[in-house]
Amino acid sequence: MRRLLATALLAPLLVPACTDAPPRDAAAQNPGARANATTPQDLPPAIIGQGGALEGTDVHYVGGDTLTTGYLAVPAGDGPFPALVIIHEWNGLQNRVRQLADDFAAEGYVTLAADLFQGRTGSNPQENMALVREARANPQAMIANLDAAVAHLKARPDVTGRVGAMGWCFGGGVALSFGLDGVNHEATAIFYGRLVDDPEVLATMDHEVYGTFAALDNGPSPESVAAFEAALRSAGIEHDLHIYDDVNHGFWLRVDADPEVRTAPAADAWQRLKAYLDRTLR
Protein backbone atom coordinates (compact mmCIF):
# COMPACT_ATOMS: atom_id res chain seq x y z
CA MET A 1 0.00 0.00 0.00
CA ARG A 2 1.17 3.54 -0.61
CA ARG A 3 2.55 5.76 2.13
CA LEU A 4 -0.86 7.42 2.33
CA LEU A 5 -2.25 4.50 4.29
CA ALA A 6 0.35 4.93 6.99
CA THR A 7 -0.27 8.68 7.02
CA ALA A 8 -4.03 8.90 6.78
CA LEU A 9 -5.22 5.64 8.31
CA LEU A 10 -2.66 4.57 10.89
CA ALA A 11 -1.79 7.91 12.49
CA PRO A 12 -3.33 8.63 15.91
CA LEU A 13 -6.86 9.96 15.63
CA LEU A 14 -7.81 13.25 17.27
CA VAL A 15 -11.09 12.77 19.12
CA PRO A 16 -13.70 14.58 17.02
CA ALA A 17 -16.76 16.39 18.31
CA CYS A 18 -19.20 14.09 16.54
CA THR A 19 -22.32 12.86 18.27
CA ASP A 20 -24.40 9.77 17.73
CA ALA A 21 -27.56 9.79 15.66
CA PRO A 22 -30.71 8.25 17.14
CA PRO A 23 -30.78 4.44 17.13
CA ARG A 24 -32.08 2.89 13.98
CA ASP A 25 -35.65 1.68 13.81
CA ALA A 26 -35.54 -1.14 11.28
CA ALA A 27 -39.33 -1.27 11.16
CA ALA A 28 -39.36 2.26 9.76
CA GLN A 29 -37.89 1.11 6.43
CA ASN A 30 -40.17 1.27 3.42
CA PRO A 31 -39.47 0.78 -0.29
CA GLY A 32 -39.27 3.55 -2.84
CA ALA A 33 -37.51 6.88 -2.90
CA ARG A 34 -38.40 10.56 -2.91
CA ALA A 35 -38.19 12.09 -6.36
CA ASN A 36 -37.70 15.70 -5.23
CA ALA A 37 -34.21 17.18 -5.07
CA THR A 38 -33.44 20.17 -2.87
CA THR A 39 -33.99 23.67 -4.21
CA PRO A 40 -31.09 26.16 -4.10
CA GLN A 41 -32.47 27.47 -0.80
CA ASP A 42 -32.76 24.07 0.90
CA LEU A 43 -30.44 21.75 2.80
CA PRO A 44 -30.74 17.96 2.79
CA PRO A 45 -33.39 17.04 5.41
CA ALA A 46 -31.05 14.63 7.21
CA ILE A 47 -28.49 17.23 8.22
CA ILE A 48 -31.07 19.59 9.73
CA GLY A 49 -32.61 16.82 11.82
CA GLN A 50 -35.63 16.31 9.55
CA GLY A 51 -34.69 13.01 7.94
CA GLY A 52 -37.74 10.82 7.65
CA ALA A 53 -38.44 7.11 7.65
CA LEU A 54 -35.74 5.12 5.89
CA GLU A 55 -36.50 4.51 2.23
CA GLY A 56 -33.60 2.24 1.24
CA THR A 57 -32.58 -1.32 2.00
CA ASP A 58 -29.80 -3.13 3.80
CA VAL A 59 -27.28 -4.82 1.53
CA HIS A 60 -24.37 -7.24 1.95
CA TYR A 61 -21.93 -6.00 -0.67
CA VAL A 62 -18.70 -7.72 0.45
CA GLY A 63 -18.55 -11.27 -0.89
CA GLY A 64 -18.69 -13.94 1.79
CA ASP A 65 -19.20 -11.38 4.58
CA THR A 66 -22.64 -11.41 6.18
CA LEU A 67 -21.65 -9.07 9.02
CA THR A 68 -20.78 -6.06 6.88
CA THR A 69 -24.14 -4.43 6.17
CA GLY A 70 -24.39 -1.34 4.01
CA TYR A 71 -27.45 0.72 3.20
CA LEU A 72 -28.55 1.25 -0.39
CA ALA A 73 -30.77 4.14 -1.51
CA VAL A 74 -31.97 4.30 -5.11
CA PRO A 75 -33.51 7.27 -6.95
CA ALA A 76 -37.03 7.11 -8.33
CA GLY A 77 -37.18 6.34 -12.05
CA ASP A 78 -35.30 4.08 -14.40
CA GLY A 79 -31.93 5.81 -14.65
CA PRO A 80 -29.18 5.22 -15.39
CA PHE A 81 -27.81 7.31 -12.54
CA PRO A 82 -24.37 8.25 -11.26
CA ALA A 83 -23.49 6.65 -7.93
CA LEU A 84 -21.97 7.49 -4.57
CA VAL A 85 -20.28 5.58 -1.77
CA ILE A 86 -20.62 7.48 1.50
CA ILE A 87 -18.44 6.65 4.50
CA HIS A 88 -19.60 6.99 8.09
CA GLU A 89 -17.96 8.74 11.04
CA TRP A 90 -16.10 7.15 13.94
CA ASN A 91 -19.29 5.80 15.51
CA GLY A 92 -20.24 3.54 12.61
CA LEU A 93 -23.15 3.46 10.19
CA GLN A 94 -25.83 5.37 12.07
CA ASN A 95 -29.31 6.50 11.10
CA ARG A 96 -28.32 10.01 10.08
CA VAL A 97 -25.93 8.69 7.44
CA ARG A 98 -28.64 6.32 6.17
CA GLN A 99 -31.06 9.23 5.95
CA LEU A 100 -28.43 11.23 4.09
CA ALA A 101 -28.11 8.34 1.62
CA ASP A 102 -31.84 8.76 1.01
CA ASP A 103 -31.27 12.49 0.46
CA PHE A 104 -28.56 11.80 -2.13
CA ALA A 105 -30.90 9.36 -3.86
CA ALA A 106 -33.46 12.15 -4.07
CA GLU A 107 -30.75 14.20 -5.81
CA GLY A 108 -30.39 11.47 -8.43
CA TYR A 109 -27.51 9.31 -7.13
CA VAL A 110 -27.63 5.60 -6.40
CA THR A 111 -26.06 5.78 -2.96
CA LEU A 112 -24.43 3.04 -0.91
CA ALA A 113 -23.60 3.90 2.70
CA ALA A 114 -20.65 1.67 3.44
CA ASP A 115 -20.09 -0.22 6.69
CA LEU A 116 -16.46 -0.38 7.84
CA PHE A 117 -17.23 -1.86 11.28
CA GLN A 118 -19.06 -5.08 10.30
CA GLY A 119 -22.44 -3.94 11.52
CA ARG A 120 -21.21 -2.55 14.83
CA THR A 121 -21.68 0.98 16.14
CA GLY A 122 -20.32 2.88 19.11
CA SER A 123 -22.35 4.70 21.74
CA ASN A 124 -19.56 6.65 23.48
CA PRO A 125 -16.04 7.91 22.67
CA GLN A 126 -14.35 4.83 24.13
CA GLU A 127 -16.41 2.43 22.01
CA ASN A 128 -15.97 4.63 18.93
CA MET A 129 -12.19 4.74 19.32
CA ALA A 130 -12.01 0.99 19.78
CA LEU A 131 -13.84 0.49 16.49
CA VAL A 132 -11.64 3.02 14.71
CA ARG A 133 -8.44 1.43 15.99
CA GLU A 134 -9.59 -2.02 14.94
CA ALA A 135 -10.41 -0.78 11.43
CA ARG A 136 -7.17 1.16 11.11
CA ALA A 137 -5.17 -1.89 12.10
CA ASN A 138 -6.10 -3.42 8.73
CA PRO A 139 -6.16 -0.59 6.15
CA GLN A 140 -6.07 -3.04 3.26
CA ALA A 141 -9.39 -4.47 4.45
CA MET A 142 -10.95 -1.00 4.49
CA ILE A 143 -9.84 -0.30 0.93
CA ALA A 144 -11.07 -3.74 -0.17
CA ASN A 145 -14.41 -3.02 1.52
CA LEU A 146 -14.84 0.19 -0.47
CA ASP A 147 -13.60 -1.47 -3.67
CA ALA A 148 -16.42 -3.98 -3.16
CA ALA A 149 -18.90 -1.13 -2.66
CA VAL A 150 -17.86 0.46 -5.96
CA ALA A 151 -18.05 -2.92 -7.72
CA HIS A 152 -21.52 -3.50 -6.30
CA LEU A 153 -22.69 -0.16 -7.67
CA LYS A 154 -21.05 -0.54 -11.07
CA ALA A 155 -22.69 -3.95 -11.51
CA ARG A 156 -26.16 -2.41 -11.28
CA PRO A 157 -27.91 -1.77 -14.62
CA ASP A 158 -29.26 1.54 -13.31
CA VAL A 159 -25.77 2.99 -12.69
CA THR A 160 -23.89 4.91 -15.38
CA GLY A 161 -20.52 3.58 -14.22
CA ARG A 162 -19.38 6.88 -12.71
CA VAL A 163 -18.95 6.63 -8.93
CA GLY A 164 -17.80 9.07 -6.26
CA ALA A 165 -16.79 8.58 -2.64
CA MET A 166 -17.25 10.93 0.30
CA GLY A 167 -16.93 10.78 4.05
CA TRP A 168 -17.11 12.74 7.28
CA CYS A 169 -14.54 12.88 10.07
CA PHE A 170 -13.00 9.37 10.25
CA GLY A 171 -14.77 8.67 6.96
CA GLY A 172 -13.30 11.78 5.37
CA GLY A 173 -9.77 10.53 5.91
CA VAL A 174 -10.77 7.11 4.61
CA ALA A 175 -12.31 8.73 1.51
CA LEU A 176 -8.99 10.44 0.77
CA SER A 177 -7.13 7.16 1.25
CA PHE A 178 -9.58 5.44 -1.04
CA GLY A 179 -9.14 8.15 -3.67
CA LEU A 180 -5.47 7.21 -3.84
CA ASP A 181 -5.48 3.47 -3.20
CA GLY A 182 -8.90 2.20 -4.33
CA VAL A 183 -10.22 1.13 -7.69
CA ASN A 184 -11.03 3.77 -10.27
CA HIS A 185 -13.69 6.26 -9.30
CA GLU A 186 -14.30 9.80 -10.38
CA ALA A 187 -14.84 11.94 -7.28
CA THR A 188 -13.54 12.31 -3.71
CA ALA A 189 -15.28 14.60 -1.22
CA ILE A 190 -13.85 15.15 2.25
CA PHE A 191 -15.60 16.70 5.22
CA TYR A 192 -13.10 17.49 7.98
CA GLY A 193 -11.15 14.26 7.59
CA ARG A 194 -7.48 13.40 8.15
CA LEU A 195 -5.34 14.91 5.40
CA VAL A 196 -2.05 14.32 3.57
CA ASP A 197 0.51 17.01 2.79
CA ASP A 198 2.96 15.01 0.66
CA PRO A 199 2.70 16.08 -3.02
CA GLU A 200 4.31 12.84 -4.20
CA VAL A 201 1.56 10.82 -2.52
CA LEU A 202 -1.22 13.10 -3.72
CA ALA A 203 0.10 13.01 -7.30
CA THR A 204 -1.52 9.60 -7.72
CA MET A 205 -4.99 11.17 -7.45
CA ASP A 206 -6.58 11.21 -10.90
CA HIS A 207 -9.56 13.49 -10.28
CA GLU A 208 -10.58 16.75 -8.64
CA VAL A 209 -10.93 16.78 -4.85
CA TYR A 210 -13.64 18.53 -2.82
CA GLY A 211 -13.12 19.53 0.81
CA THR A 212 -15.17 21.33 3.47
CA PHE A 213 -13.50 22.29 6.74
CA ALA A 214 -14.10 24.37 9.86
CA ALA A 215 -12.00 27.24 11.19
CA LEU A 216 -12.67 26.24 14.82
CA ASP A 217 -11.48 22.67 14.27
CA ASN A 218 -8.22 21.05 15.28
CA GLY A 219 -8.79 17.76 13.47
CA PRO A 220 -7.85 18.93 10.87
CA SER A 221 -6.76 22.41 11.82
CA PRO A 222 -6.83 25.29 9.33
CA GLU A 223 -3.04 25.01 9.16
CA SER A 224 -3.36 21.35 8.12
CA VAL A 225 -5.89 22.29 5.46
CA ALA A 226 -3.52 24.95 4.11
CA ALA A 227 -0.71 22.39 3.91
CA PHE A 228 -3.06 19.95 2.15
CA GLU A 229 -4.06 22.60 -0.38
CA ALA A 230 -0.43 23.54 -1.02
CA ALA A 231 0.42 19.88 -1.63
CA LEU A 232 -2.52 19.45 -4.01
CA ARG A 233 -1.42 22.54 -5.91
CA SER A 234 2.15 21.28 -6.05
CA ALA A 235 0.94 17.90 -7.34
CA GLY A 236 -1.24 19.54 -9.99
CA ILE A 237 -4.49 18.16 -8.59
CA GLU A 238 -7.60 20.25 -9.18
CA HIS A 239 -9.45 20.99 -5.96
CA ASP A 240 -12.29 22.92 -4.39
CA LEU A 241 -11.48 23.43 -0.71
CA HIS A 242 -13.03 25.88 1.72
CA ILE A 243 -12.61 26.60 5.44
CA TYR A 244 -15.77 28.05 7.00
CA ASP A 245 -15.44 30.63 9.77
CA ASP A 246 -17.28 30.47 13.11
CA VAL A 247 -18.06 26.73 12.92
CA ASN A 248 -16.41 23.68 14.43
CA HIS A 249 -15.91 20.00 13.70
CA GLY A 250 -19.01 18.14 12.55
CA PHE A 251 -20.97 21.27 11.62
CA TRP A 252 -22.22 20.08 8.24
CA LEU A 253 -23.73 16.75 9.22
CA ARG A 254 -25.48 18.22 12.28
CA VAL A 255 -26.73 21.66 11.37
CA ASP A 256 -29.59 21.24 13.84
CA ALA A 257 -27.12 21.33 16.76
CA ASP A 258 -26.62 25.09 16.18
CA PRO A 259 -28.78 26.20 13.24
CA GLU A 260 -28.20 29.93 13.75
CA VAL A 261 -24.45 29.53 13.23
CA ARG A 262 -24.29 26.47 10.98
CA THR A 263 -27.07 26.98 8.43
CA ALA A 264 -25.35 29.54 6.17
CA PRO A 265 -21.98 27.77 5.87
CA ALA A 266 -23.69 24.39 5.49
CA ALA A 267 -25.82 25.78 2.66
CA ASP A 268 -22.80 27.15 0.85
CA ALA A 269 -20.94 23.85 1.28
CA TRP A 270 -23.98 21.98 -0.06
CA GLN A 271 -24.20 24.10 -3.20
CA ARG A 272 -20.45 23.64 -3.77
CA LEU A 273 -20.86 19.88 -3.28
CA LYS A 274 -23.77 19.64 -5.71
CA ALA A 275 -21.81 21.57 -8.35
CA TYR A 276 -18.77 19.35 -7.75
CA LEU A 277 -20.77 16.14 -8.13
CA ASP A 278 -22.44 17.50 -11.25
CA ARG A 279 -19.14 18.21 -12.98
CA THR A 280 -17.37 15.02 -11.90
CA LEU A 281 -20.14 12.39 -12.07
CA ARG A 282 -22.86 13.56 -14.45
Return the pLDDT at 119: 96
Rounded to whole angstroms, how far apart are CA atoms 69 and 60?
5
Residues 115/69, Cβ–Cβ less than 8 Å: yes
Rounded to whole angstroms, how far apart are CA atoms 173 and 241?
15
Rounded to whole angstroms, how far apart are CA atoms 266 and 268?
5
Per-run averaged pLDDT (10 residues), the chain, 282 residues: 42 45 35 59 93 96 96 95 98 97 98 98 96 95 96 97 97 96 93 95 96 96 98 97 97 97 97 97 94
Q: In residues, how long is the chain?
A: 282
Return the pLDDT at 34: 52
Long-range contacts of 26-31 (CB under 8 A, 24+ apart): 28/53, 28/54, 29/53, 29/54, 29/55, 29/56, 29/57, 30/54, 30/55, 31/55, 31/57
Return the pLDDT at 11: 44
Rounded to whole angstroms, how far apart are CA atoms 169 and 174?
9
Return the pLDDT at 130: 97
Return the pLDDT at 3: 39
Return the pLDDT at 195: 96
Count Cα atoms within 13 angstroms, Cβ side, for 280. Answer: 26
Return the pLDDT at 18: 58
Homologous superfamily, domain 3-281: Alpha/Beta hydrolase fold, catalytic domain (3.40.50.1820)
Return the pLDDT at 183: 83
How are beta strands 70-73 and 110-113 bridged, if at all?
antiparallel
Return the pLDDT at 5: 44
